[in-house]
């Protein structure tokens, strides 16, 4: 939150991406497929966000 606040006060644009891979109420160990899907989704989102920031 601090980074986002600092950017906003200086007129910069910033964002973040978070992914949840484990529901700690149900299991402690991440499923390998869920981990890989979360990483893939995060990379896709970051690339699209960077594209939007660079073309805006």
* pLDDT tens digit at each of 56 positions of the chain: 899 999 999 999 888 888 888 777 887 788 889 889 989 999 999 999 999 888 87
User: Do 3 and 20 form a contact (C-beta atoms < 8 A)?
Assistant: no
Distance CA 55, CA 32 (A): 35
Instruction: Give the CA distances from residue 52 to residues 15, 38, 49, in Å, rounded to whole numbers and listed in that order.
Output: 12, 21, 5
Contacts of 9 (CB under 8 A, 6+ apart): none
The C-alpha angle 2, 17, 19, rounded to 5 degrees, equals 120
The per-residue pLDDT for 44 is 96
The per-residue pLDDT for 2 is 92
């Amino acid at each position: 939150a601090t980074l986002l606040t600092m950017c906003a006060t200086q007129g910069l644009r910033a964002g973040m991406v978070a992914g949840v891979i484990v529901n700690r109420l149900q299991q402690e160990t991440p499923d390998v497929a869920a981990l890989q899907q979360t990483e893939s989704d995060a990379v896709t989102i970051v690339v699209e966000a960077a594209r939007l920031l660079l073309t805006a």
